[in-house]
């Protein structure tokens, strides 16, 4: 008997989707597919091991690579167990995180011969400003958007293969070519590629855009994790690519620089990446003591 599978990113979005009343099972895809070692299309065992080690490092040890590897293997097994008669609904927003995931999953489904796929891509929602991502939607808002799904076309599948190759290679030339497309079959992908290119360190300052926005938030007087989050979210140009975990990773990396670019004060020496016994309210973030105000005015 054919089944319906909904695939999305993010635990918050997945939980709301489960509560929406929409029929079908939910798969929350976990990976950061615009960064780290990988190959385009279906990964082999060696690539999954490399990615698990990368993601352990990316999260500052917040997740163990064995746990990550098990999660990665399990989610590919879900795809592998699909039949050609199954109905697949992909729920993503317009950010880099989701768009790189979208083209990768479409590439994998194409390799498996699974082409009965529908897409719900949400880049805005009435009354939510700024719209950052699917995690902002309530269950009933997911339900209201389910009838807006569109079938994924053969052209979109084929376009995904090339886009997945560009993100996997993390090659500036391929990404620039992708970012410059004006008639992309998946219209949100070029902007996502352009946003990732902005993370290439500026030759003058040595900082990518997210790092620059964090330092700007410090300059504006923000000194707690969520103050910085809100300031950076408001200042960044949609579609942003980062979520809270990526922001904490970047703050921690700025503290680890030589010389440090900021100072973290709190119950631990770094902002927690995942579930923690500590509250974000207990952390204070300030410019590094060696800096004066002009040094963070970049």
For the chain, which residues make up each domain, given as ranges?
Answer: 4-197, 209-296
Top-ranked range on mean pLDDT: pick from 175-179, 240-244, 254-258: 175-179
Mean of the per-residue pLDDT values for the chain?
Answer: 90
CATH topology classification for 209-296: Arc Repressor Mutant, subunit A (1.10.10)
Top-ranked range on mean pLDDT: pick from 131-145, 156-170, 261-275: 156-170
Give residue-wise pLDDT tens across range 104-118: 999 999 999 998 999
Q: Are 4-197 and 209-296 in the same CATH fold? A: no
CA gap 191, 173 in Å, rounded: 15
Phi, psi torsion values for 176, nearest 5 degrees: -65, -45
Residue 259: asked if its preceding bond is cis (omega within 30°), the reply is yes
Alpha carbon separation from 172 to 81, 94, 209, 249 (Å, rounded)? 35, 20, 16, 23
297 pLDDT higher than 80: no
Contact 196, 34 (CB under 8 A): yes
78 pLDDT higher than 70: yes
Which residues is 92 bridged to in the sheet? Answer: 121
Mean pLDDT of 205-230: 95
- Given phi > 0 = left and psi -120 to 50 = alpha, else beta, which region is 49? alpha
290 pLDDT higher than 60: no
Contact 29, 8 (CB under 8 A): yes
CA gap 138, 192 in Å, rounded: 25
pLDDT of res. 274: 63
Mean pLDDT of 25-44: 95
Share of the chain above pLDDT 70, in %: 96
Give residue-wise pLDDT tens across range 230-255: 999 889 877 777 878 789 889 999 99
Q: Which CATH number fits domain 4-197: 3.40.50, 3.60.110, 3.30.70, 2.130.10?
A: 3.40.50
């Amino acid at each position: 008997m054919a089944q319906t599978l909904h695939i999305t990113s993010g635990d918050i979005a997945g939980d709301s989707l489960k509560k929406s009343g929409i029929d079908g099972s939910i798969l929350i895809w976990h990976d950061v597919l615009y960064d780290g070692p990988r190959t385009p299309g279906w990964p082999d065992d060696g690539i999954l091991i490399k990615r698990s080690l990368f993601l352990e490092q990316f999260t500052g040890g917040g997740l163990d690579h064995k746990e990550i590897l098990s999660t990665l293997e399990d989610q590919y097994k879900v795809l592998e167990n699909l039949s050609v008669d199954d109905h697949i609904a992909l729920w993503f927003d317009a950010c880099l995180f989701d768009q790189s995931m979208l083209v990768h999953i479409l590439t994998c489904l194409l390799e498996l011969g699974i082409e009965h796929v529908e897409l719900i891509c949400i880049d805005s929602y009435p009354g939510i400003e700024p719209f950052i991502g699917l995690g902002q939607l309530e269950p009933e808002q997911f339900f209201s958007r389910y009838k807006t799904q569109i079938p994924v076309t053969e052209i979109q599948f084929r376009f995904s293969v090339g886009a997945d190759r560009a993100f996997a290679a993390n090659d500036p030339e391929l990404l620039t070519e992708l970012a410059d497309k004006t008639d992309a079959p998946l219209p949100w992908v070029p902007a996502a590629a352009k946003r990732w290119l902005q993370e290439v360190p500026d030759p003058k300052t040595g900082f990518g855009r997210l790092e620059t926005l964090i330092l700007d938030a410090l300059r504006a007087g923000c000194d707690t994790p969520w103050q910085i989050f809100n300031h950076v979210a408001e200042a960044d140009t949609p579609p942003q690519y980062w979520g809270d975990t990526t922001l904490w990773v970047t703050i921690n990396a700025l503290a680890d620089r030589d010389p440090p670019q900021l100072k973290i004060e709190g119950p631990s020496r770094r902002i927690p990446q995942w579930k923690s016994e500590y509250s974000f309210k207990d952390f204070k973030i300030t410019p590094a003591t060696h800096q004066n105000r002009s040094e963070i005015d970049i």
